[in-house]
Structure formats: C-alpha cells, structure tokens
Structure 1
Amino acid sequence: MRSQSSLLAAFTRWLGFDEAGAAQAARLALAAWLAFSIAALLHVQNAYWAAMPIWVVAQPSRGLLLERALYRLLGTLLGALAGFMVLTQDSSLLQLILLAAVIAMCAGMTHLLRGTSAYAWLMAGMTAAVVVIPSALSPQDSWALALARVECTLIGVLAVTLVLWLFTPKTRRGDFYRRARALAADAVDFAAQSLTGNTDPATELRILKALSDIDSAARPISAGSLRGYRNLRHIDQLLLASLNIMAAGQAMGSHLRPEAQAAAALARRLQQVAERLRSDEPAGSILPAPPENLPPRRLARLEQALEQLCQAAAQLAPAASPASAEAHAAPALVPDRDWRLALRTAATTGGAALACAFLAQAYPSQATELAILGVCIFSMLLGSMAQPQKHAPHMLLGVLAGVTGATLYRFTVQPHVDGMLELVVTLLPFLLVGGILRASRRFAVPAIDANMCFMLASQAGMPVASSGAIISSSLALLLGAGLVGCGFLLFPRTVQRALRLTTAAILGDIRTLMRDTNALSRERWLALAGRRILRLLAHMGTDTHSSTTPPAGLLSLLNLGQSIIDLHHLGQQPGHRAIYQEAIARLADFERQPQATAEFLLHLAEDSRDRWLTVTLQTLAHALLASRSTLLAQHPGVNSAH
C-alpha cells in the first residue's frame, strides 16, 4: 500500500500536479461537461463545439477570464458573419478563395493588435473556416452551421465563466505598478552610474529586458479594468521615459568625464529621485534642484526625461490623482504594430488556405474537410505567435494525444452509447483526463490542443461512423496539423532574422533623419526607436535556447538619432553652417565606417568654438563608437578596422 502511495506521489510530482491543480482540473472538466450537456440537450448541431472554448477561455486572473470570454464571443460572431457572407457566393471555389482572404486578414491582425483584442481576430478567422469549409462542400447546411457555431460558443463561454469566476483570483495590478515604478528607479540609477562611468553592458541589458517584460505584461494585467486601460498610456510613457533617461545618462556621461565634480553632483541628484520612486508616495514634487554649475542647456534632455518619468510614475502610485491633460499629452511609445510580421503571417496563412481550396475542389470528402480545417486553424494559431517553432512540438504532441483519445472513444465507447444520458456520462472520464492534463504544469500547453482536437475528432453526439471513416478522418486531422507544424519547424522565425530586421529598421529611421530634417520629430524618433528596441528584446526573450545575444549599444542607437536631430537644429545657425555640412557629408557612410566617422567628428569638435556644438559632435561620435559592432553587423563584408 505504501509503495502504491509513493508511486502515486512521484507520478503527481512528475506531472506537476497538486491539490490546487486537482481542484482546477475538476472545475475545467465540469465546465466542459456542462457546456456539452446543455448543447446536446438543446439539440444544437455539433454540440461538441460547446466544450471547446473551456480550455482556452480559462485564465489565471478574473480580468483575463472576462475579456477572453467576451472576445471569444465577439470573434465568433464576427467570423460567423464573415463566413455567411462568403457563403452567399454561388461558386464553392470562389467561397474557399474568399475564405483564404478572410483568414489572411484575420491572421495579419493578430500582429497589429496586442492583448486579448488580437484573440478576437484569431477566433474570427477560425470560425469563418469552421463555417465555410463544411458548408462549401454541403451548401444546404450553411446557415444552420453558422448559427450552431455561435450557439455553442455562447454556451461554452457562459459555462466556463460561471464555473470558474469565483475561483479565479483578481488581478494584482497594484503589485505590477509597484514593479514598474521600481524598474523606472533602476533606470534612473543606471543614468546616475553612467554619469560617473560605473555601468556595464550586463546591467544595461538586464534593465532593458525588464522594461520589455513590463511592456509585454501591461495589456494582460490591464484586462477587465477601465482604470487598467487608462493606465496603459502611463505605462507606455514610463517605459519611453526610462529608455530616454538611460540613454541621456550615457550621452551626458561621455562628455562630463572631465567635469567629475559636476557629474557626481548630478548623479547624487538622480539617486535621490530613484529612492523616491521606490516608495509609494505620490511623488508630487519628486525632483530635487539641479546642480548650479551645469548650464541649463546641457541638462535639458535629462531634465525633460526625468520630469516625464516622474510624472508617469506618479500616475501609477497607489494614491494617484486623476491624470491631467498635460500627463495625457506626454510622449509615449508608439503602438506595437508589427506590419512586417503581419504581412508575412497573412501571406503564409492565406497561401496555405488557398492551396487547401484547390485541394478541396479536387478531392471533396469528409477527410479532406478535416485536413483543410486543420491546416487553416493551426496555421492561424502558430502564425499568431512570435516564435511559432517553439510551440509547434507542443501542438503536434497535443494533436496526436487528442486524436488518439478521440479515435479510442469512437471505437470503444461511441458504438455502445444509446441515449442522451449515456452520451454525457461516458464523455465525462475523457474530460476529467483533459482537465488533469490542462491543470498540470508539465502538460498544460499541449493539453489545450489535445482537448480541442479530442472534441473535434470525437464527433461526440454524432451518428456512429464506419471504421474506415473514423481512421481516415483521424489521419486527415493529423495530416493537416502535421503539415503546418513541420512547416514552421523547417522554416522558423529565427531570432537572428528578427534582430537583423529590427536593427535595419532603426538604422533606416536614422538615415531618414539624416536626409530630411523634418521627417521625424524628437518625440516621434524616441517613441518609434524605443518601440523597436522593446519589440526586439521581446522576440529574443521568447527564445530561451538561442545563443544569440542582443546587439551592443542599443541605447547608443537612441543617442545617435537624438544627436543627429540636435546637429540639424544647430546647423540652421549661420556660424555653424560649415562644420554642420562637413559633419553631415561624413555621416553618409556612418554604418560602414563608424570608427573613422567618429574620429572625424571628434576632430571637428576640437575646431568648434561653440560649446553646445562641441558637445553634440562628441555625443554623436561616442554613440557611433558604442554602437560600432551593431553597425558593422549589418555589413558583414566590411573590415572591422573601419
């Protein structure tokens, strides 16, 4: 008896399962069972759809649970409407071609929106596929199928919300805002250390990655709360100001080194600000007086960044007062819309759906229908992810487990089911196993696909099929998922590619600044470059097994653009025109010859009689030297001595 107990304990530890997990597994199974039972009792077509929302709508916090449920329903309604509009066309081939266009648009939208709102578009594309593909092959059932899909989603969403709501903890937004303020304090500390030359690349990278983590978590944390969504603007302002003050500290440190006393006084002032940011006080007057021995012009950027950071942090304090118009107008990061990845995702998912359209016309059957459905659904699901190749093995494992369980159910249980009571009772053990896997820490991710594919392939509540039909439909679903999963594994979205494209985009913005002085304002440049840096770090953070490291000198790229803007402004003054033209002409080849360009700029700075022009040229030169390896990485054939 003891040996059995110890074996069971070891198995549950290996599974990552505890008492809390057991309770959650029971709730998930109950919600799925209730949803299916209600849909079956109401004689809704394809009642097994009702249990499918349970496994993805369940979330770790109430706000996410509520929004996931609402967007699931909204996406289903939108997809059903789009599907029904597609089905108004007479030609089944035209219907499938239009479906491919809908899927492409919805898949692309998942990279133009963030948070749970992107989930609505994912569900819209999936629902359109579920409605159109069977109906294109059986036109007489089109409206009934679309209506059944909406009814099942509504039943499933209500079931999971009612069963899980009271047991799902509230979102701890206060802790998140406190963490964001503490991270802003770390950014100010970094700026203080930069003034005295006491920073290292590891500290810079740690803080930048933490800022990226805050950015990624902000929208899920804000879900289900009006105040949370109002504070999203202040989070974006805080992140941008933190990036700016870190870069400004580096820039000032590069030309304040000869003035050690002034640098130390300014560093102490920044450390005072950091201490106040770590407290929960409202920070109404958080800024101590600046050192008297530094001209205001040299402090302008640091002062402005510090003021904006403190203003945003004050809005995230526990006792924050309603934001003023000035607080709302402060610069913030641009929205995270990855157009390049959106277009790529739209092309791949739409192309896969289009290929399936021609396959459906050539080989119409239920097996073909399931294979096409698998291609459309799983290409959208994986395509919505930044690093789909990481999830593909989990998806393939889940699909294999779900289809295997469904095949077992159809061969051993379904033929013996006689009546509604037996149907709902015999399905419960399978749902309990699904709940246990979903609640375990080891198999939680593949369990989502396993449960979804079990319900889809089991055809629970449908008439008993022949052995040949069961095997062919199971193999077809496996084939559809396998083709998609293997495609993403063979042609992955590598971190190296994301790094290269993002760095190239930042350098493209810098080239735009050089060509056109009015192309980007100072605030727009910071907001755009800051967003690109955080997105790059977010991509890299999803690939824990990659040996690729972020490029050196990310903050220096910010200073590079800032200094070019300053140089343009100074070049408008008559006395600076000659030096300005020399500097701009030499900067034309800054990417291929960063070191030589920096040396030339430092030589120009020595010839300048204007202190501010000298500082600008020195800052520009130091930014080039600090980002030298990143610039040369874009031109691998260039001699590193340049």
Structure 2
Amino acid sequence: MSKVRAITPWLARRGFDVARMGFGLRTALASCLALAVAWLMGLEHPQWAAMTVWAVSQPVRGMLVEKSLFRALGTLIGTLFGVVLVVVAGDNLPLLVLSLSLWIGLCVGIGNLLSGLVSYGALLSGYSATMVALLNTQQPAGQIFALGSDRMLTVMTGVLVGLLVGLIFTPRNAEDHAALRVRRTTSDILRAMAAAFAGDTTETRADKAHRLLERIASAEQLFDIKAAGSVRSHRSVRALRALVQGQVGAAYWIRSARHLNQDEHMASALCEAARILEENAPADKVLCALEAALACSTDRATADVLRQLLDSQREHLATEGDDTGMTAIRNRVVLHRDWVGARQAAVRAFGLLLLIGVVWILSGWSVGAYVMLGASVMITLFSTFEAPSRVMGHIFIWQSIAALAALSCHWLLWPLATSEWQLIALLSPFILLIVPFFAHPRVASGSLDYVMALLLLSHPVLPLERTFADSLVIAAAVVSGPLLAYIAFRFVWPADARRRRQHLTGMMLNELAGMARNPMAPARHQVWRVRLHHRLLKLIQSVNRSAEPLQPATSAALAVLAIGDAIQQLHLLKAGTDLPRPLQRRVTMALLRLEHLPENPQAAVRSLQKVATLLQQMGHPAAWDVDNAARGIATNLAFFQRH
C-alpha cells in the first residue's frame, strides 16, 4: 500500500490521470476475467465478452448499471434482427446488404434523436445486427442460430462480469453535483432578482443574466449522469429539468423586467429565500421562504417567475424525499430533438454501408464483410459526437497499433501455445498494455478502440486456421473502418460543432415561425417556450465548448425568448375585437414578417417597431414586449441573418 501511495504523486507529475488509471486497470483485469469465464463456458467467441466489459464499464455506479442494461437490450434487439434477416435473406447477398444498410440507418437516426443511454442502446441495436449477419457470411451455412446465441451469451457474460466488478469497486454514494449546482444557481437567481428590486441598473442585470444562463447550461449537462441507474434518479432529473426551465425564465426576467420600483420588502424576502437555499435547509423551510417571496410580489410577471420556481422546486424536493414513487411531475418538460441532424446521420450511414456493400457484391472481395462491419461500428457509434471526423484520426492510429498487436500475438506467440487457456493467457498482456495510455490525456483519445480492434481480430480458439495473408487482409479491412467513416463524416453533410449549431438555431427560428403562423399559438405557448428554453441551453453549451465568445449566444437566446413573448401578445391582439383597423393590419403584417424572420430580419424589426409605437400611443401594456422583441432582433442581426 505504501508503494502505491508513493508512486501516485510520481504518476500525477508526469501527467497521468491517476483515478482514470485505476479505472482502466480495473476494467482491463475485468476484461481478462470475462475472456476466461466465456472460454470456460465453452463459448465460441469469448473475446466478445471481453469487449463488452470495456463497453459497459463506467466510473459512476448509476451509469454502470444503466449502460449494462442498455448494452444487453441493444444486443438482444440487434442479434434477433440479424438472425431473422439471415434466415429470410438466405444466400441473397444483395438483400442482406440492403436490409442491413436500412437497419443501420434507422438505428442511427433514432439514436441521434434520443439522448443519454437510450441513444446508446439504439445505436448498439444497429451494429449488433451487423456483427451477427456479416460474420455469418464467413462461416459454413446453417450456423446462424449458433452464432446468434453465442453473441448473446458472450455479451451477457461480459455485462455480468463488468457489472459485478464495477459494483464492487465503484463507490456507492457520490455527491450529487447536478442538484447542488442547480440549488446554488436558484439562490443566485433570487439574489439577482432582489438586487433588481434594490435598484440594479439595466446593464448590471443584463450581465447577471448572461452569467446565470451560462451556469444553468453548465449544470444541465450533468443531468444524463445523474439520471442513470434508477427510476428514482430519472424522476429526480425530470423535476430538475422543470426547475432549470424555471431558472431560464427567471434569467429572462432579470434581463428584461421593466418599471421596477424599489421594494425593500420584496428584496428582503428574496434574499431570505436565497439564504435558506444556500444553507441547505430542509424542504419545508425552502418552500415557505419561496411562498413568502411570492406573496410579496405585486406584478404578474414577477409572480409568474416565482410561481414557476416554487412549483418546480416543490416537485424536485418531493422526488428527493421518501415518497418519490407517489410524486407526479406536473410541470411540462419538452426536450430538444435534432431532427435535421438525425435525418442526415441516418442517410449518411445508410449510404456509406450500401456503397461498401455494392462494392463487396460486385468485386466478390472475401473480406468485404469485415470492411462493412468495421465501417458500421464507426459510422454508428460516433454519429452522435459533436465532431466525429476529428476522433476518427485518433481511432485509426490506435486501431492500426491494435492490428499490429493482434498480428504479433497471433503469429509470434500463439504458435507456442498447446492449449486454448494458453492462448488467453498470452492475449491478456496485450489488453493490459493499454492502461497507461488510457490514463494519459495526450494519447487517451481513441485508446479504447485499441482494445476493441485487438479483441475483434483475436479469436483464441484452437486450431489456428487462418493463414498470415488472411490475418493481414482482415486486419487491413477492420482498420479501414475509421478511414471510411472519416470520409463520410467529413464530406457527406459534414458533422461538426458549427453545423450542429446551425441546425439548432435553425430549429429555434423555425419554432418562432411556427408560433407566428399558428393562430392557436397562445394555447401552445408554454410547450413552445419550454422547448425553446432547452434549445437555447444546448446552444450555450455548444458555444461554451468552442473558442467562440459566449455573450453573443446568450444575447441571441434572450432575444429569441423576447420574440416568443411578443408573438403571444400579437396573437392575443389579433384575436381581439376592440383594436383599430390600422393596428389590426400592423399586427397581421408583423406576424407575417416573423414567419419569414430569417429571410429579412430588418423588415421584422420595422414592422414590430410600428406596432409598438401604435400600442404606446394607446397606452397598451403589450407595447413594451413588442418593442423588446424588435430591439432583440436589431441587436442580434448576425444571429438571425444566418438562416
């Protein structure tokens, strides 16, 4: 133990992530254990069990449990589809290729629409089918059911071993960083609202709103980790999402509230509620403090913001208590779905695999199945990455190293073995070799794929039937997967952070156009608004990961919310019967301009300003909302002109 403690600082000084090294060593040993267990069970492809351990292992207990579940479900669905497809297609290779390409495209599309580990399960269903169907083409006829059952049993063995080892070594109780950060942000929001009633300037409130939105978006990124592992965790995160949406509305209020009179009583109540949150007081005290602040509010906008915070805080605190099973989440949670990116990813995957399959059919190349298999994993699993083409270069390097390692093991060491357990013992050091590289930030990217490619190319079963030429060609075929995926990600609807943000902002603007077009917009305003809240958080997160300044993104996000409020007011005005005809025409024109906002934002600004002027002359309370939207568009023309 003392030697371990002594070496830890030495490793840290040389740039190694000591915690990640421990996790990598534990996973590598569990992988070797799964390899041995699967062999002892008499399974044909024990290396698949070892691959599964690396796929499911997580440093967080909840993520470990849930990823293991979706690994099992995804494998089951994919394997069943692969078996049924082989039975139906028979020797019809074109039908097999077309069906697999369609299946992969469907799974990729669904995986890009969903989020978290549900997305992972959908993607896994895709390439699990290719593992069964394509490897079956390399075996004698009539082996599909044996191959399918072997795939299922090896994966389940790997899941169970990875889950058992992970549960033993992963700490049971981890600090709830997501809930803690949301609580602190709520406290900061209440203090910012108190400062607004104490006389904060508009500029100061704008700066606070921008910083708050950044913190809200940062906390929201932790929700997938917090949600994993149990039904209770999922319910808690759903309540947290509702609370976060209330926080976004509060940040907008801080930026946009007008005509606030100094109110020491209101400011004091808000500060008291913030103090109680900061002290981690019991739920009843937190709720009482928020109710007291709500009781002090004298205008509808402030009351709406505080009521949303109170209701969502009540639901969140209830999910954290003992009666979570009886708690209903009433606040609507609507998440962003990247329909454009999902459609493009699906077509990209379908097209790449179909092209590879056609070349395989026409050329009759014996390793075409391995090329298609390697490409299917890359084009599927990495399709949800923000910039997958960047990752492919690292993966290609590590898979090339894995190919050399597999060839070395197979042709230099395995010929010395006289039994299968010796094959497994000789392969294990090559698995353990990756641990220090896995733990160093400079070379960690793509290192996991070294193990996956190594195990995919290593079949520890006697007798060793392949020739060296066969092994070399198969290794080259597998390593070609990252290169083919790179070409697809780079040149077919290029997938990168900038284009994903374009999809996101385009959908936000389409949302506004739909709100302007739909005369029933006020009835659906809450649904649209909460979806806009989530989309603007995703926009801020994406910009925050880049080198671009964040302030333009938060400013544009607040402008989008202002336009949404203005559209609601315009629809209410249009539905009224007591407005002068000139104003009715101006309102109709403003809604029409907002339907085509990306095409001519300046025209929308002018139209909104004219409506605002007429409303001001009438003393109508909607004047400020309409004028605020016009100012938001004018201030962020670059954002609205991009589409």
Both proteins in one fold, TM over 0.5: yes
SS across alignment from 1:517: coil
Q: State how 1:116-155 maps to structure 2 within 5 Å.
A: 116-136=117-137, 138=139, 139-155=141-157
- Shift of the 364–31 alpha-carbon distance from structure 1 to 2, 3 Å rule, reads farther
Matched, 1:110 2:111: yes
Which of 277, 287, 291 lines up with 1:287 in the alignment? Answer: 291
In structure 2, how many angstroms separate the alpha carbons of the residues matched to 1:573 and 1:514?
16
CA distance in 2, matches of 1:13, 1:331: 48
1:556 to 542, 559, 563: 559
Which residue of the partner structure matches residue 24 of structure 1?
A: 23
Assess, with a 3 A threshold, how the Cα gap between structure 1 residues 17 and 209 changes in structure 2: closer, same or farther: closer
Deviation at 1:498, TM superposition (A): 2.9
Q: CA offsets, 1:558-606, max 9 Å, x none?
A: 1221222123224434333543442332453353225434542342133
Q: Distance in 2 between matches of 1:32 and 1:552?
A: 49
Whether the 8 Å contact between 1:517 and 1:565 is mirrored in structure 2 is no
Residue number in structure 2 paired with 1:584? 588
Q: Structure 1 residue 510 and structure 2 residue 512: aligned?
A: yes
| One-letter amino acid of the counterpart of residue 403, structure 1 | A
Structure 1 match to 2:36: 37
Counterpart mapping for 1:446-485 below 5 A: 446-461=446-461, 463-485=464-486
Aligned residues: 616
- Given candidates 217, 220, 223, the residue that maps to 1:215 is 220
Give, as a single letter, the amino acid of the residue that structure 2 aligns with 1:38.
V
CA contact (8 A) 1:370 1:477 kept: yes
Change in CA separation of 1:67 and 1:289 when aligned onto 2, cut-off 3 Å: closer
Report the 3-state secondary structure (helix = DSSP H, G, I; strand = E; otherwise coil) of the residue aligned with 1:574.
coil
Q: List per-residue Cα deviations over 1:432-460 (Å, max 9, x = no partner).
A: 11334334444444221111011112333
Give 1:32-431 correspondences, 5 Å limit. 32-88=31-87, 89-90=89-90, 91-136=92-137, 138=139, 139-170=141-172, 172=174, 174-192=176-194, 196=200, 197-199=202-204, 203-253=208-258, 256=259, 260-261=261-262, 269-281=269-281, 282=283, 283-285=286-288, 286-289=290-293, 299-317=299-317, 320=321, 322=323, 328-332=329-333, 334-431=334-431
Alignment-mate amino acid for residue 608 of structure 1:
M
Separation in 1, partners of 2:336, 2:586: 37
Distance 1:532 1:8, change over 3 A: closer
Once residues 109 and 587 of structure 2 are traced to their aligned partners in structure 1, the CA distance between those partners, rounded to angstroms, is 42
Q: Secondary structure at the match of 2:460?
A: coil
Pair 1:209–1:388, CA change in 2 (3 A): farther
Looking at structure 1, the residues matched to 166 and 160 of structure 2 have their Cα atoms a distance apart, in angstroms, of 10
How far did residue 143 of structure 1 move? Answer: 1.7
CA drift at 1:260 = 4.2
Deviation, structure 1 residue 522:
2.3
Could you say which structure has the greater relative contact order, defined with CA pairs below 8 angstroms and 6 or more residues apart? 1
Instruction: Give the residue type in structure 1 aligned to 2:117.
Output: T
Distance 1:28 1:353, change over 3 A: same
8 A Cα contact 1:395 1:449, kept in partner: yes
1:198/1:546 Cα in 2 relative to 1: closer, same or farther (>3 Å)? closer
Amino acid in the other structure paired with 1:153: V
Matched residues in 1 for 2:372 and 2:15: separation? 33
- Quote the Cα distance in structure 1 between the aligned partners of 2:231 and 2:547: 38
CA contact (8 A) 1:244 1:526 kept: no
Instruction: Give per-residue Cα distances to partners, 1:78-108, cap 9 Å, x unaligned.
Output: 1100111111223221012111111111111
Following TM superposition, by how much is the alpha carbon of 1:529 offset from its aligned partner in structure 2, in angstroms? Answer: 1.1
Deviates more, 1:277-286 or 1:570-579: 570-579
The 1:630/1:496 distance shift into structure 2, 3 A limit, reads: farther
Query: What does residue 569 of structure 1 align with?
Result: 572
Listed one character per residue, the Cα deviations across residues 142-174 of structure 1 (whole Å, up to 9, x for unaligned) are: 222111111110111111122221111235364
Shift of the 487–351 alpha-carbon distance from structure 1 to 2, 3 Å rule, reads closer
User: Share of identical aligned residues, percent?
Assistant: 21
Q: Name the aligned partner's letter for residue 66 of structure 2.
A: E
Distance 1:324 1:598 in 2: 48
Q: 2: distance between equivalents of 1:446 and 1:349?
A: 21
Q: Is the 8 A contact 1:552 1:627 kept in 2?
A: no
Q: Which residue of 1 aligns with 2:611?
A: 601
Give me the whole-angstrom Cα distance separating, in 1, the residues matched to 2:295 and 2:117: 46
Distance in structure 1 (CA, Å) of the matches to 2:538 and 2:188: 20
Alpha-carbon RMSD across the aligned residues, in angstroms, is 3.0
Deviations 1:221-264 (A, max 9, x none): 121122211112211211111111222333323xx1xx5435x7
Q: Structure 1 240/102 Cα, relative in aligned 2: closer, same or farther at 3 Å?
A: same
Query: CA 1:327/1:41 → structure 2, altered by over 3 Å: closer, same or farther?
Result: closer
Label 1:239 to 1:290 Cα distance change in 2 as closer, same or farther (>3 A): closer
The amino acid that maps onto 1:466 is T
Deviation of 1:511 (Å): 2.4
Look up the SS of the partner of 1:288 in the other structure: helix
1:488 is aligned to 489
| Residue 13 (structure 1) shift | 4.2
620-629 or 370-379: bigger deviation: 620-629
Instruction: State the distance in 2 between where 1:219 and 1:41 align.
Output: 37
Alpha-carbon contact 1:499-1:550 (below 8 Å) kept: no
Structure 1 alignment gaps of length 5 or more: 1-5, 638-642
Give 2:528's match in structure 1, choosing from 525, 530, 539: 525
Match of 1:640 in 2: none
For the structure 1 residues 150 and 365, does the alpha-carbon distance in structure 2 shift closer, same or farther, using more than 3 Å as the test?
farther
Q: 1:269 to 1:562 in 2, by over 3 A?
A: farther
Between 184-193 and 57-66, report the one with greater CA deviation.
Answer: 184-193
Moved more, 420-429 or 318-327: 318-327
Which deviations, in whole Å up to 9, do the C-alpha atoms of 1:540-561 show, x marking residues without a partner?
34x4345786263312211221
CA distance in 2, matches of 1:506, 1:357: 38
Given that residues 188 and 274 in structure 1 are in contact (C-alpha distance below 8 angstroms), is that contact kept between their aligned partners in structure 2? yes
Describe the SS at the equivalent of 2:172.
coil
